[in-house]
C-alpha cells in the first residue's frame, strides 16, 4: 500500500453538482443506480481523464449523456474507474451491484441485525457507487430507496422525504431530497423494521423542527435521555455560536454493529446503539454523560463539519478538534465544569500522551497516511480540541466568537483548511498565529521544565520556563511552540493568590504568560511573600509540566490553590511522588511504608467543608495504573499495581471510618435521574465503597452486597459487581455474576458490561476467562462493541495483558489476525497496546515484538499493515 501526501493535493478535475441515487435493496445483490451531473473544473486540462473511486462494486452499466460507454473507453481496477475522455459538462449514469450481507468491514452499505445502514466517512462511499469520493466534491442529493414492505417498512436517507409509494411484488419506495450540497462521506441510508420516538424543537428564528430517534422496538424505552440531550444541544449551539438547524427534520438511528461512536450524516445521524440508548437500569452515569456528549458532538457537526467541511482528510482535525472542543464546553455548561475538565485531562494525559510518545505519533495535521481510518485518533480529536481551546484562551471569548462567526459565514458551503479556521481567529483578534501554527505540524508532547526562585530582598519572583519537544518518527528536530501558560502565585503566608506584576504591568491574580522561546525567564515584581507557583491552570496547554514541587508545596496547593483543576492536580502529583517511592521499594524488595503526608492530605479532604462532591470524588481517586505507567522510564506493571494497591489499602485502613461516613451520608432512595447532583453523590459514595472493599472490610462487604441486591440503578449495581468480582471473594462474586448474566442475557449492551467487569479483574485467572467468554453466545467477533468490551478491555488489564509468559499478547495477536479479514478498521485499532512495546522491560519487549512480527507475516489489510509497519520500524 502506498501513502498519500498532503503536499500532493490537487483540486478535483471534475466535480459533481447534483447526485441522484436509486437503491433497490437486497441482502446479496443490491442494485445502485447513480445519475451524476458533472462538470470540469474551469482550470483543469480539457484532456483530464475522469477518475472515479469504486471498490467491491460489480459494474452493470455505464453511460455518458445517455450513451453507453464502450468497454474500450474506460479502465477498471479494484480501486476504481478511469474514463480517458469526457465532455466539459455531462451526465454520468452507472449501475452497480453490491452485497450488503457480506460486508463485515462495516464501511459502505451493510446489514446490522437485518437492518440496512451505511457508514461512509471517510472513504466508504466508494463501496456504494463509482464517485469522486473526496470531501471537496459537494453536491445536492436526491435518493430513492426501494425495499420490501414487510422487511423494510422504514426507508430513510438524508434531508426531507418528498415522495413515497407502493411497487409491485410487495415492495415500496421513499424518495429523499437534501438541498444542502454535501460531500459523499455525509451520505446515509437506513432501511429496516424500526420504530421512532418523536419530538419537536423550535429554532431561534421560530422554525419547527421534527426530531426523531429510530430504534428497534425493544429499545423504545431507552431514548428519552438522548432526545433531551439533543434539544439541549440545539439550544446551546444557538446561544453559544448563533448556529441554527437548517432542515425540517433531524433523525438519529441506533445501530448495533458500528465501528465508531456515531456519525454526523446530514439530517440522519447514525449512532452506535451504545452511544444513544440509556435507561437507569441498563446504563451507568458515565454512559448517560457519554450519550449526552456524543449526541451533542454529532449535532454540532451540522455546522462544524457539514455546512463547512474539510478540503481533504489531512484537515480532519478542522472539524473534529473544533467539534470536540464544542462538545466539551457544552458538557461543562450542562454538568460540573471542573469535573468535566478533570476527567477530560486525566484521560488525555494518559492516552494521548502515550500516543504522542509512541511509534504512531503524528501531528494534528498529518502530512501523509496510508489508511485514513487509522487517523481517527486522540491526537486529531482530543489534542485538536486542546489547540482550539488554546486559541480561545489566547484571543479571549469575544474575539473567539467573532472569529467563529466569521468562519461559518465566510466558508458556508465550502470545503476548507485549518489555515482558513485559524485565519478567521487571527482576523477577528488581530493576533499573529504564525508560530502557533506549529502545533498543527509538529507531533509529540512538549516538556516544560519550570524553575522558580523568590528573591526576598528585591521582592521578586523569577520563573524560568524551558520547552523541548522530543523527537517523533519522521520529525527528529522540533521548533519552539507558542505556549499559553495560565498561572498564579500563591502566597505561603496568606494562602492567597498574589497580584502578578510583570514588566511593570499588573496582570491580576491569575494570568496567561506566553512562552515562545526555548527558554524564557519571567520576573514578577512586588511579590510581598514567598509564593508557591500554580502553573498551567485548567491545563492551559497540552504539555508535560515539570516543577520540582516538594510534598509540602503540593499539600499546600491541594488546599489553597484557587484553581480547582490545579488543586486536583496537586493531589495527583502528591500521590505520584508517594507511588514512586513504593514502586522503588517493591522492585528492591524493601518493605513498603506509606507516606503519612498523603494520608493527612486525604484526611483533610474528607473532613474539610464538602462543597463540590463531584470534585471531591475525583480528588479521592488515585492516578490510574496507566497514568502512573506514563510517568515511569520503564513500565513495571507488577510494581505499579502493587504500589497502587498498597496506597489504596493504607488509605482505607487509616481513614476507614471517614469512608464509611461518606458512604452512609450519600445513600439515597430517590428515583434515579442523571442530574449533576445525583451523579456527584453516587460517585462519591462509590469511591468510598471501593476503598472499603480494598481491605475487605466486613461492613463494607455487606454494603457492597446489598447495593448489588438492591438493584436501584446500573451505576450502583455495576460498581458493586465490579468491586465483588475484583475482590478475592469469589464466593460472593460468582453468584452475583451469574445472576447478572442471566438477568441481562437479552441485552447486548449490558452483557458488554458483564464482559468488561470480568476481564478487567487483577486475579491471574483472567486469560482463561477471556478465552472462555469468547465462546459465550453473547459474544461475536463481528460486532465491534463486543470486541471492545471483551478483548479491548482485557488489553487494558495491565497485570494480565502483560503476563510474563506472553500469552496475553498472543491472544490479542490471534484476534487481530482474525479480525484483519473481517473488519480491518477495528483490527488496526485493537493493536494499539502492542505498539507501546518500547515502554516495557526487555523480556516483554521481545514478546510484544514477536507477536507484531507474527501479525506482519499474514496477508494484511492496509489498515493493519500501516500500524504494524510503524510499530516495528
Ligand atoms: N463519526 C465520527 C465523529 O463524529 C467521525 N466524524 O467524530
Ligand atoms: Zn466528530
* Residue 63, phi then psi, degrees to nearest 5: -145, 145
∠ CA 825-789-722, rounded to 5°: 160
Mean pLDDT of the chain: 98
Q: Which atom of ligand 1 is nearest to the CA of 261?
A: 1
In a domain, 339, yes or no: yes
Query: What's the first-to-final CA gap in the chain, in angstroms?
Result: 16
Q: Is residue 344 within 6 Å of ligand 1 at its C-beta?
A: no
User: Which atom number of ligand 1 is nearest to the Cα of residue 320?
Assistant: 7
Q: How far is the CA of 336 from the centre of ligand 1 (A)?
A: 25
Count helices and strands in the chain by DSSP H and E runs: 31, 33
Q: How many angstroms is it from 301 CA to the middle of ligand 2?
A: 7
**3-state DSSP percent of the chain in helix, strand and coil, to 5:** 45, 25, 30
- pLDDT score, position 498: 98
Cα 677 to ligand 1 centroid, rounded to whole Å: 30
Residue 190's pLDDT is 99
Ligand 1 closest atom vs CA 301: 4
Ligand 1 proximity of 320 Cβ (cutoff 6 Å): yes
Residue of 123, 294, 300, 301 to mutate, ligand 1, most atoms within 8 A of C-beta = 301
Q: Do 132 and 224 share a domain, yes or no?
A: no
Q: What domain range includes position 104? A: 1-193
Per-residue confidence (pLDDT) for residue 672, from 0 to 100: 98
CA of 112 to the centre of ligand 2 (A): 22
Residue 556 included in any domain: no
Contact 137, 184 (CB under 8 A): yes
Position 293 in a domain: no
pTM (two decimals) = 0.98
Q: Is-contact 265 109, C-beta < 8 A?
A: no
Atom of ligand 1 nearest to the CA of 294: 4
Q: Is the CB of 295 under 6 A from ligand 1?
A: no
What distance in Å separates the CA atoms of residue 518 and residue 123, rounded to the nearest whole number?
41
Question: Does the CB atom of residue 240 touch ligand 1 within 6 A?
Answer: no
Q: Which ligand is nearest to the CA of 258?
A: 1
**Count of CB atoms within 10 A of residue 592's CB?**
15
Q: Which ligand is nearest to the CA of 295?
A: 1
Q: Are 780 and 786 in contact (CB under 8 A)?
A: yes
Among protein residues, the one whose CA lies closest to atom 2 of ligand 1: 263
Looking at the structure, do residues 740 and 616 belong to the same domain, yes or no? yes
Q: Tell me the CA–centroid distance for residue 262 and ligand 1, in Å.
A: 6
Q: Which ligand is nearest to the CA of 304?
A: 2
Q: Is residue 292 part of a domain?
A: no
327 lines ligand 1 (CB under 6 A): no
Tell me whether residue 638 is in a domain. Answer: yes
Distance CA 714, CA 355 (A): 32
Using most ligand atoms within 8 A of CB, pick from 119, 252, 262 the residue to mutate for ligand 1: 262
- The answer as to whether 777 is a domain residue is yes
Nearest ligand to the CA atom of 326: 2
Cα(262) to ligand 2 centroid in Å equals 8
Question: Is there an atom of ligand 1 within 6 Å of 262 CB?
Answer: yes
Alpha carbon distance 443, 549 (integer Å)? 28
Specify whether 426 is located in the same domain as 501: no
pLDDT at 408: 98
Q: Are 781 and 817 in contact (CB under 8 A)?
A: no
Q: Is 260 in the pocket of ligand 1 (CB under 6 A)?
A: yes
pLDDT of the residue at 609? 79
Measured from the CA of 381, which atom of ligand 1 is nearest? 7
Distance from the CA of 388 to the center of ligand 2, in angstroms?
A: 14
Q: Is 24 in the pocket of ligand 1 (CB under 6 A)?
A: no
Q: Domain boundary at 413, 438, 463, which?
A: 438
pLDDT at 724: 98
Q: Tell how far the Cα of 298 is from the centroid of ligand 1, in angstroms.
A: 7
Examine the domain organization and report whether 698 and 833 are in the same domain: yes
Give me the mean pLDDT over the 185-202 stretch.
98
Residue 472: give its domain's CATH number: 2.60.40.1840
> What is the atom index within ligand 1 of the atom nearest the CA of 263?
1
This complex has an ipTM of 0.98
Ligand 1 neighbour 264 (Cβ under 6 A): yes
Give the integer Cα–Cα distance in Å for 448 and 467.
5
Helix axes 337-347, 564-588, angle to 10 degrees: 40
In a domain, 285, yes or no: no
Residue keyed to cell 492516578? 623
- Beta carbons of 692 and 729 less than 8 angstroms apart: no
pLDDT in tens, 299-335: 999 999 999 999 999 999 999 999 999 999 999 999 9
Return the bridge partners of 501, or none. 506, 525
Q: How far is CA 469 from CA 441, 443, 482, 516, 748, in A?
A: 12, 8, 12, 13, 44
301 is a domain residue: no
Give the SS3 label for residue 471. coil
pLDDT at residue 662 tops 80: yes
For the cut 80, the answer to whether the pLDDT of residue 610 exceeds it is no
d(CA 198, CA 504): 61
Cβ–Cβ under 8 Å, residues 233 and 300: yes
Ligand 2 centroid from CA 322, angstroms: 9
Q: Is the CB of 59 under 6 A from ligand 1?
A: no
Q: What's the CA-to-centroid distance between 508 and ligand 1, angstroms?
A: 40
Q: In what order do the strands lie in the sheet with 30-40?
A: 67-68, 58-64, 89-98, 30-40, 14-24, 139-148, 171-182, 160-167
Q: Same domain for 618 and 743?
A: yes
| Ligand 1 proximity of 298 Cβ (cutoff 6 Å) | yes
Neighbours of 319 (CB within 10 A): 24
Q: Is the CB of 687 under 6 A from ligand 1?
A: no
| Domain closes at, from 223, 253, 276 | 276
Other Cβ atoms less than 10 A from the Cβ of 670: the count is 10
Same domain (yes/no): 618, 704: yes
630 has catalytic annotation: no
| Closest CA to ligand 1's atom 1 | 263
pLDDT of residue 787: 98
User: Cis omega before residue 293 (within 30°)?
Assistant: no
Same domain, 527 and 569: no
Of all protein residues, the one whose alpha carbon is nearest to atom 5 of ligand 1 is 263
CATH classification of the domain holding 112:
2.60.40.1730
DSSP-based three-state secondary structure for 443: coil
Q: How many residues does the chain have?
A: 873
CA dist 864 and 854 (Å) reads 12
- My answer on whether 319 and 201 are in the same domain is no
Atom of ligand 1 nearest to the CA of 324: 7
Q: How far is the CA of 260 from the centre of ligand 2 (A)?
A: 10
- Residue closest by Cα to atom 6 of ligand 1: 263
What separation in Å is there between the alpha carbon of 324 and the centre of ligand 2?
7
**SS3 assignment for 553-594:** HHHHHHHHCCCHHHHHHHHHHHHHHHHHHHHHHHHHCCCCCC
pLDDT at 192: 98
Q: Taking 90 as the threshold, does the pLDDT of residue 784 lie above it?
A: yes
- Kindly state whether residues 186 and 51 are assigned to the same domain: yes
Ligand 1 site, residue 121, Cβ cutoff 6 A:
yes
Whether residue 217 sits in one domain with residue 169: no
For ligand 1, atom 3: residue with the closest CA: 263
Mutating to test ligand 1, I would choose from 120, 121, 135 the residue with most ligand atoms within 8 A of its C-beta, which is 121
Average pLDDT over residues 728-736: 97
> Where a domain ends, among 175, 193, 211?
193
The enclosing domain of 332 has a CATH number of: 1.10.390.10
**Has residue 816 got a pLDDT over 80?**
yes
pLDDT beyond 80 at 611:
no
Residue 205: how many other CB atoms lie within 10 Å: 7
pLDDT at 113 over 90: yes
Cα 364 to Cα 347: distance, rounded to the nearest angstrom: 18
**Cβ 133 under 6 angstroms from ligand 1:** no
Q: What would the pLDDT profile of 68-84 be if each residue is shown by its tens digit?
A: 999 999 999 999 999 99
Which tens digit of pLDDT belongs to each residue from 242-286? Answer: 999 999 999 999 999 999 999 999 999 999 999 999 999 999 999
Catalytic residue among 123, 298, 538, 630: 298
Residue 397 and residue 326 share a domain? yes
* Total of domains in the chain: 5
In the sheet that 262-263 helps form, which strands lie side by side, from edge to edge? Answer: 195-202, 208-215, 249-255, 268-272, 262-263
Q: Whose CA is nearest to atom 4 of ligand 1?
A: 263
Q: What is the mean pLDDT of residues 621-633?
A: 97
User: Cβ contacts of residue 513 below 8 Å, gap of 6+?
Assistant: 484, 485, 487, 502, 522
For ligand 1, whether the C-beta of 372 sits within 6 Å is no
pLDDT in the model for residue 608: 83
Between vectors from CA 563 to CA 559 and to CA 565, what angle results, nearest 5°?
A: 90
d(CA 223, CA 695): 40
Protein residue whose Cα sits closest to atom 7 of ligand 1? 320
- Shared domain for 625 and 678, answered yes or no, is yes
CB atoms within 10 A of CB 402: 17
Averaged pLDDT, 494-501: 98
Amino acid at each position: 500500500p502506498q501513502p498519500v501526501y498532503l503536499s500532493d493535493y490537487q483540486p478535483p478535475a471534475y466535480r459533481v453538482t447534483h447526485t441522484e441515487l436509486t437503491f433497490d435493496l437486497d441482502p446479496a445483490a443490491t442494485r445502485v443506480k447513480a445519475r451524476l451531473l458533472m462538470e470540469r473544473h474551469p482550470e483543469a486540462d480539457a484532456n483530464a481523464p475522469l477518475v472515479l473511486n469504486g471498490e467491491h462494486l460489480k459494474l452493470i452499466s455505464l453511460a455518458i449523456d445517455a450513451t453507453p460507454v464502450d468497454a474500450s473507453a474506460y479502465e477498471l481496477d479494484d480501486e476504481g474507474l478511469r474514463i480517458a475522455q469526457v465532455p466539459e459538462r455531462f451526465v454520468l449514469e452507472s449501475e452497480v451491484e453490491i452485497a450488503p450481507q457480506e460486508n463485515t468491514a462495516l464501511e459502505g452499505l451493510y446489514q446490522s441485525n437485518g437492518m440496512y445502514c451505511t457508514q461512509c466517512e471517510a472513504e466508504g462511499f466508494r463501496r456504494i457507487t463509482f464517485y469522486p469520493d473526496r470531501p471537496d466534491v459537494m453536491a445536492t442529493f436526491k435518493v430513492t430507496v426501494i425495499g420490501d414492505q414487510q422487511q423494510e417498512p422504514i426507508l430513510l436517507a438524508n434531508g426531507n422525504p418528498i415522495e413515497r409509494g407502493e411497487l409491485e411484488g410487495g415492495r415500496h419506495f421513499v424518495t429523499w431530497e437534501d438541498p444542502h450540497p454535501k460531500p459523499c462521506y455525509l451520505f446515509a441510508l437506513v432501511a429496516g423494521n424500526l420504530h421512532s420516538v418523536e419530538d419537536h424543537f423550535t429554532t431561534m428564528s421560530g422554525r419547527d423542527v421534527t426530531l426523531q430517534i429510530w430504534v428497534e422496538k425493544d429499545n423504545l424505552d431507552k431514548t428519552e435521555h438522548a432526545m433531551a440531550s439533543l434539544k439541549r444541544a440545539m439550544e446551546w449551539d444557538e446561544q453559544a455560536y448563533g448556529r441554527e438547524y437548517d432542515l425540517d427534520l433531524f433523525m438519529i438511528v441506533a445501530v448495533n454493529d458500528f465501528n465508531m461512536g456515531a456519525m454526523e450524516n446530514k439530517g440522519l445521524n447514525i449512532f452506535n446503539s451504545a452511544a444513544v440508548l440509556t435507561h437507569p437500569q441498563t446504563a451507568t452515569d458515565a454512559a448517560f454523560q457519554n450519550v449526552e456528549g456524543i449526541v451533542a458532538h454529532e449535532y454540532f457537526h451540522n455546522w462544524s463539519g457539514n455546512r463547512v467541511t474539510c478540503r481533504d482528510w489531512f484537515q480532519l482535525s478542522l472539524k473534529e478538534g473544533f467539534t470536540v472542543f464544542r462538545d466539551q464546553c457544552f458538557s461543562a455548561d450542562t454538568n460540573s465544569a471542573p469535573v468535566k475538565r478533570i476527567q477530560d485531562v486525566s484521560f488525555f494525559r494518559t492516552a494521548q500522551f502515550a500516543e504522542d510518545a509512541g511509534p504512531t505519533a503524528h501531528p494534528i495535521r498529518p502530512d501523509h497516511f496510508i489508511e485514513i481510518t487509522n487517523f481517527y485518533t486522540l491526537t486529531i480529536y482530543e489534542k485538536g480540541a486542546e489547540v482550539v481551546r488554546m486559541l480561545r484562551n489566547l484571543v479571549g471569548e469575544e474575539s473567539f466568537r467573532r472569529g467563529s462567526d466569521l468562519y461559518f459565514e465566510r466558508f458556508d458551503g465550502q470545503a476548507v483548511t485549518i489555515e482558513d479556521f485559524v485565519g478567521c481567529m487571527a482576523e477577528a483578534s488581530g493576533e499573529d498565529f504564525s508560530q502557533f501554527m506549529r502545533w498543527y505540524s509538529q507531533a509529540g508532547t512538549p516538556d516544560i521544565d519550570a524553575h522558580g526562585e523568590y528573591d526576598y530582598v528585591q521582592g521578586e519572583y523569577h520563573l524560568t520556563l524551558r520547552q523541548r519537544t522530543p523527537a517523533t518518527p519522521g520529525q527528529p528536530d522540533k521548533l519552539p511552540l507558542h505556549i499559553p501558560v495560565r498561572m498564579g502565585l500563591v502566597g505561603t503566608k496568606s494562602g492567597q493568590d498574589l497580584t502578578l506584576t510583570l514588566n511593570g504591568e499588573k496582570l491580576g491574580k491569575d494570568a496567561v504568560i506566553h512562552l515562545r522561546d526555548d527558554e524564557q525567564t519571567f520576573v514578577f515584581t512586588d511579590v510581598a511573600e514567598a509564593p508557591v507557583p500554580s502553573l498551567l491552570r485548567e491545563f492551559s496547554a497540552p504539555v508535560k509540566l515539570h516543577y520540582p514541587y516538594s510534598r509540602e508545596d503540593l499539600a499546600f496547593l491541594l488546599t489553597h490553590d484557587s484553581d480547582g483543576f490545579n488543586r486536583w492536580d496537586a493531589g495527583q502529583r502528591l500521590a505520584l511522588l508517594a507511588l514512586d517511592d513504593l514502586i522503588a521499594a517493591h522492585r528492591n524488595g524493601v518493605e513498603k511504608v506509606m507516606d503519612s503526608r498523603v494520608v493527612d492530605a486525604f484526611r483533610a479532604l474528607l473532613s474539610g467543608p464538602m462543597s463540590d462532591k463531584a470534585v471531591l470524588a475525583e480528588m479521592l481517586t488515585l492516578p490510574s495504573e496507566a497514568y502512573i505507567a506514563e510517568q515511569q522510564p520503564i513500565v513495571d506493571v507488577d510494581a505499579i499495581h502493587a504500589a497502587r494497591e498498597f496506597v489504596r489499602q493504607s488509605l482505607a485502613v487509616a481513614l476507614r471510618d471517614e469512608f464509611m461516613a461518606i458512604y452512609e451520608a450519600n445513600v439515597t432512595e430517590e428515583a434515579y435521574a442523571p442530574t449533576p447532583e445525583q451523579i456527584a453523590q453516587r460517585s462519591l459514595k462509590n469511591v468510598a465503597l471501593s476503598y472499603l472493599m480494598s481491605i475487605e472490610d466486613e461492613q463494607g462487604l455487606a454494603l457492597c452486597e446489598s447495593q448489588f441486591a438492591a438493584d436501584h440503578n446500573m451505576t450502583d449495581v455495576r460498581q458493586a459487581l465490579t468491586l465483588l468480582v475484583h475482590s478475592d471473594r469469589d464466593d460472593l462474586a460468582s453468584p452475583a455474576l451469574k445472576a447478572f448474566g442471566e438477568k441481562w442475557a437479552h441485552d447486548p449492551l449490558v452483557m458488554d458490561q458483564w464482559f468488561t467487569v470480568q476481564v478487567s479483574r487483577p486475579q491471574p485467572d483472567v486469560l482463561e476467562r477471556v478465552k472462555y467468554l469468547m465462546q459465550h453466545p453473547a459474544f461475536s467477533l463481528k460486532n465491534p462493541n463486543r470486541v471492545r468490551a471483551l478483548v479491548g478491555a482485557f488489553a487494558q488489564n495491565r497485570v494480565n495483558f502483560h503476563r510474563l509468559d506472553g500469552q496475553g499478547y498472543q491472544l490479542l495477536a490471534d484476534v487481530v489476525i482474525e479480525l484483519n479479514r473481517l473488519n480491518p478498521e477495528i483490527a488496526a485499532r485493537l493493536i494499539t497496546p502492542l505498539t507501546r512495546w518500547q515502554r516495557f522491560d526487555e523480556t516483554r519487549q521481545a514478546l510484544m515484538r514477536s507477536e507484531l512480527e507474527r501479525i506482519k507475516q499474514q496477508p494484511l489489510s492496509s489498515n493493519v499493515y500501516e500500524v504494524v509497519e510503524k510499530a516495528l520500524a
